[in-house]
Amino acid sequence: MYDKSLLSLNSHWMPFTGNKDFKSSPRLVVRAEGMYYWDIDGNEILDGCSGLFTCAAGHCREEITTAVHEQIKELDYTPHFNMGHPSSFELSKEISRITPPGMDRIFFCSSGSEAIDSSMKIVLAYWRAKKEANRQFFVSRQKSYHGVNMGGTSLAGMVNNRKVFGIGLPGVFHMRHTWTEENKFSKGQGEKNGVDLANDLERMAQTYGGENIAACYIEPIAGSVGALIPPKGYLERIREICDEYGILLVFDEVITGFGRTGKAFAADSFGVKPDIMTVAKSIANGAIPMAAVIVNDEIYEKVVASQGPNAIELFHGYTYSAHPVACAAGIATQKIYRDENLFARGEKMVSYFEEQLFTLREFSCVKDIRNYGLMGGVEVFPDEAGPGIRGRDIYQTLFHDGLHVKTTVDTIIVAPALIAEKSHIDELIAKLKNQLKKYS
């Protein structure tokens, strides 16, 4: 146990956190198991967000801790440039068993942000290999989140992540996001506006020249911004336009990958196949940083064939790419998903989760409810004093009331682990009700 009196909070500059605020009233977690966290005072906290969409198989799975322990004892680190270790090949084989057909070339890195920036370079390398180096523009969407590295920050459409820095790569264009008034309180995919919103991509192609656009980046469900679900027909139309203009379609599945939508990937749930997927979060159950770019065979083969027999084909990689310990955690995680048929188990809980989530509609403070798979967004009207104040209050009060969720501005995002039982959903909803009645 931690001795609180010995803790100094001074030195750590915490990410995406109000440091002054946190340090004046810290929320410190010291243990986790299954669906729960415990704070430093021993209080139990239901994890309503699988950590940060990471721990799909629940916390502290013994299979993963054992695999990590065994690996770190045997081989703690290998550089991955011009040498390797078997686990990265084993993990890529495991993952390629569940990826859409023909998408089985996998480049490892350590975070979603790295996956996004790596994927942008792979896209550019591919077009150069195809002798279409003019394709340098990227299209993404407002309100999207593609991580915080330079490429991802430029693609992203989350205003606060960009405006404090005042920078962004040139040649990135943003389509509209997919939230519309007409689709409020839709269960799953909304009926309206899908094709019209997707046609933004066609307008971009007509404005900037489809032949100049390298790739279109889409989060199948925009997660961090508050679970924006694509309306019906949206993703299909995006795919059609990409095909028409030869634009690569990248699905950022950092949140949706590995069972969140009820299938392995959102690409499977929505029946739309991208050319590239970026994944992270649940790839290794959040236990060790791990992420990947998954590309179709044509992209890999084109880039590799474009260089001579002894050449390095892609001048890109990280010290921690395919770290052996992360690979061990990834292999153990994928085995849990397979052995426990966890994606299907999560999918079975979806209708109960949806039914319970929509009971929150009774509160007058609720502006919208959105859901797909085991992910939901409950948006509340902002406080008179401005946006984000209620969201912050909700997050902090819920934590002290024993529930962990994510809030973005005034939207509560929930994403229970795929091992959740009905009793966990009930506890989650009861705690949310207790909170929402304060504002209604």
What's the closest the beta carbon of residue 435 comes to ligand PLP, in angstroms? 23
What's the closest the beta carbon of residue 110 comes to ligand PLP, in angstroms? 8
Closer to ligand PLP by Cβ: residue 155 or 197: 155
Report the helix count and the strand count for the chain, using DSSP H and E.
Answer: 15, 15
Q: Is 292 in the site for ligand PLP (CB under 6 A)?
A: no
| Residue with token string 């100094």 | 8
**Interface with ligand PLP in residues 225-284 (CB under 6 A):** 252, 254-255, 280
Q: Which of 94, 219, 368, 410 binds ligand PLP (CB under 6 A)?
A: 219
How does 46-73 read in b/e, with b if 16+ C-beta sit within 10 Å? bbbbbbebbbbbbbebebbeebbeebee
Distance CA 106, CA 87 (A): 13
* Binding characters for ligand PLP, 72-111, by CB under 6 A (x = yes): ---------------------------------------x
Q: Is 112 in the site for ligand PLP (CB under 6 A)?
A: yes
Q: Is 223 in the site for ligand PLP (CB under 6 A)?
A: yes
Q: Is 49 in the site for ligand PLP (CB under 6 A)?
A: no
Q: Is 435 in the site for ligand PLP (CB under 6 A)?
A: no
Q: Which of 58, 147, 194, 286 binds ligand PLP (CB under 6 A)?
A: 147
What's the closest the beta carbon of residue 211 comes to ligand PLP, in angstroms? 27
Please choose, from the candidates 178, 185, 157, the residue with its C-alpha nearest in 3D space to the C-alpha of residue 377: 185
Helices (H), 254-364: 266-270, 297-305, 324-339, 342-357
Closer to ligand PLP by Cβ: residue 51 or 210: 51
Max CA separation in the chain (angstroms)? 68
Distance CA 310, CA 435 (A): 62
What's the closest the beta carbon of residue 364 comes to ligand PLP, in angstroms? 30
Distance CA 112, CA 292 (A): 8
- The one-letter amino acid at 248: L
Residues binding ligand PLP: number (CB under 6 A): 14
Task: Name the closest residue to ligand PLP (Cβ).
Answer: 112
CB contact set of 63 (below 8 Å; sequence gap of 6+): 332, 335, 336
Binding site for ligand PLP (CB under 6 A): 111-113, 116, 145-147, 219, 223-224, 252, 254-255, 280
